[in-house]
Amino acid sequence: MKFYSLNHKAPNISFQKAVVNGIAPDRGLYFPEIITPLPANFYQNIEDYSNQEIAHELIKQFVGDEIPETDLKKIIEETLSFDFPLIEIEKDVFSLELFHGPTMAFKDVGARFMARCLSYFNKNKTNELTVLVATSGDTGGAVASGFLGVKGVQVVILYPSGKVSTVQEKQLTTLGKNIKALEVTGTFDDCQDMVKTAFLDKEITDKMQLTSANSINVARWLPQMFYFAFAYKQLKNKEKNIIFSIPSGNYGNICAGMMTKQLGLPIAHFVAATNANRVVPNYMETGNYEPMKSIQTISNAMDVGDPSNFIRIQKIYKNSFKVLKKDLSSYSFTDYETREAMLKIHNESNYIADPHGAVGYLGLKKYLNNRSNIQGIFLETAHPVKFLDIVEPVINKTIEFPPQIMQVIDKKKVALSIDNYEQLKEFLLK
């Protein structure tokens, strides 16, 4: 399997090089040359397979022979060491809980898979690799946990000051060892721009090997395909059309879902649900894609004004707005609507949703309105404990700290404050 840059000005490369490079020299995202659907009987008999077996079938064509089957299966087994339950919230409305991993966010799967792939690729090398990543919330903690103690890998995480929750900040600033946190004056988009600029700065890349652990990296992005197949496996009624509503910020998760559909999973439609950062809802309404300055909301992981992965979505649909529109709807919701949804879900279903899951629920309900013979799944991407200051006042209930959070909540934050790219460059070169 070869991967090519979506900017089409860089050589095609192997899975290993795509993972290690993170982003192409022409600043394009890597995309697989070929996507081969799986046999229909795989999905017809999906309940007969373990999650690990399903994941292996979905990912193996993209890894190719670069990781031997035995080693790839071990990587998958170590990655998927927790559950992904599908919970019925109301008739034909389900929550897929993706927060049962070590940092209680959906990004645990991609971060753990990527860390183990890099560890495999780097096992016989003496040079050190630096993982440079920007986070709007959960990515930082997941990457920090996934890469903690990985031999030959240093991790540098950039996060926007004052724009991540207390729990999220603790998860990415308290681990120490090979994990370094940089607190950036600005937004997530500023952090992401700094990361992209560093990858193209020869003064840095001539002295150190950089890779990214954002969803721009194929080893972070592709494993998110697993969630959609895991949900399908658990559905009792597979005759009704299936809709997925995904809380969307950088659009890696929904893009992975669309890849799963390309592999043959019978998904009828996708909903990209988001907050006030409505670049994609605007695009789906007008056909004009115009990035915007990100807006701070209570669903901070979606505070993205220029989603990196949307170019991959356009590629999947052959850059045809008309074709994409058949498969994708996108809606934007206010913080007020998000809080109202959290309260409604709690009062009517005795279920606690985090702000991102609540936005996913709202998107699903909007799409389901006046449509029949449909069942919908929204992705609950983080445990509500990560947003206590938002969730508890809404539902008027105290949420207990799970063991994963207890491990970090009382630790001391260690982070270096920076204001601009030159300070990041100085830090990396030192």
Residue that has been written with the tokens 């040079």 in this structure: 127
Sign of CA dihedral 72, 75, 81, 84: negative
User: Of 107, 163, 261, 365, which one is the catalytic site residue?
Assistant: 107
Task: Measure Cα distances from 24 to 7, 10, 13 in Å.
Answer: 9, 7, 9
Which amino acid is located at 357 in the chain? G
Please, where are the H alpha helices in 293-354?
310-316, 321-327, 335-349
Token pair for 188: 């997530």
Give the up-direction half-sphere exposure of residue 243: CA atoms within 13 A in the CB hemisphere.
26
107 counts as catalytic: yes
What does the alpha-carbon distance between residue 265 and residue 37 come to, in Å, rounded to a whole number? 9
Name the one residue in this structure whose structure tokens are 């709807």.
329
- Taking the CB of residue 126, how many other CB atoms lie within 10 A of it? 6
Contact 256, 225 (CB under 8 A): yes
- CA–chain centroid gap for 289, Å, is 21
CA distance 210 to 229: 32
Q: Which two tokens stand for residue 326?
A: 């058949």
How do the residues of the chain divide into helix, strand and coil, expressed in percent and rounded to 5?
45, 15, 40
Burial letters for 285-299: b for 16+ Cβ neighbours within 10 Å, e otherwise? eeeebeeeebeebbb
The DSSP call for residue 28 is: P
- The bridge status of strand 2-5 relative to strand 30-32 is antiparallel
Count the neighbouring beta carbons within 10 Å of the beta carbon of residue 235: 16
The first and second tokens of residue 410, run together, are 């009382």
Q: Which tokens hold the place of 107? A: 């990004």
Q: Which residues are catalytic?
A: 107
